[in-house]
Chain A
């Protein structure tokens, strides 16, 4: 025993620090504090404006207790249906197109050039925020749900393909190898060796993406790409907080139902 008990007894004990190098620890700590102060001081809050706004904020909170579903019922209905249509169509297209991209973006089955192209598609789709894509597509295709649908499809491809590709990369090699060993062709290999393993996950992810698409479709209307967002935006512009509250409550309810359904579906397929 190299450390004697007598050396330790009577000495103070301290928890060994998380970051062992003292200078790094201090640098990080001081850096964080300095950043925090700089960031907070550049916030520049207009407190009198905030104070004025509190009343309006309270009105909005009150509006939640008495949401107005009726006075703009037709607009809300139309917007919700359009949002639903965009989300469903975009999810279907997203799934169909994401499968080949995912196969291409999985390093263990795709050759390098295809891998790079597919990874590029995934990175581009994920880095561009939906709303920016929507703005560009509205500029190109004009106002309406087509731009929203294309935006959501594009975003779905990146999302699904990335997660699916990761899944394909960590799947069980022995199963896939066993199928290859039977002399199967490439498409048979995918069909028997890969597909059964990733199918449950694909279904779960698709449900999740449908949920996300619906939530996103609520904001696309802000830039003219169709869906409930346009109605919501109008409600805010006119300070009709009770209508806005009604729309938000519907969105929350739909998201909750979708989440519940996707939980059931995922439990059944897995």
Chain B
């Protein structure tokens, strides 16, 4: 069958020890012998070849770094409101200032605001005033904060040289709070909920999945039926039902954890299913039977022979589960029954965009948090897909 061998699996001709049909190389490449390359390096090699997945991975890394250093990256504190700048539109950054004499000089800045009265509605709105220059700089002194609640600092990556000047790169909200800074703080909360939620899901999924796969029989049946029930119920009504039961009096931190648990409670089913399915498939593989006949104990079978083949797949499924968690948090918070202010998450930010008239006057309230959610979800999907394709290094 041409390029196929007896068992129908593609064999990369470069790997064949026996000689075969003649070959003309298309690319002059370094001929590394892949005979001694281990599985993880093969997976990495396969993953690196997927440019989109790699780019998505870089975006994910970037988002987590933003979340990690939120205090330093944000020019302002998330809750500082300046009523004198409500619904101020975003400013652009310019690098040069044109002097009155016509010469230009390097002076990074944003433009200030002026107030205009809308003639029809008689409403006060802010517009960017090209004549006002607000000089900005890197590593400027700004509002004091404690990095990770530990290290007191007051330097910010970027900000106005004069802390009292307005710099709102993505505009402000109803209370005159800086959307850019809030978005950065929101990244920390939303992205971490994704990660924590998936960790809880994974633990639940692996525990129930392995119990199900290990004991089999009626235990397996019961767990499978529970999974079936949960996955057949529409998720959003269920999330709503569970989240609505959180007492209003609870602290933001407790709410954060309960929301994480709710989100993961409903997300573990697919993981458990995946783990169980793969586990059962691997358990009947010839090489596992061979290891059993070699005298391997049950534990050695699982940890030495089954799990290594499973981990890359689990990793891919876990990556693909993160976006569900992020969307769940965002949806609940958006509806007002998830995280609540003063906690800042992407969903909490989107609460401000509930009213269509508000969005019409201040579209940045909708655009930036939405974009953050979409970019995060897309990146996890692309990266997870790439990981899944690379997860089995021996399947061409």
Is chain B found bound to chain A in the same assembly? no
Q: Report which A residues bind B (CB closer than 8 A).
A: none
Interface residues of B (CB under 8 A from A): none
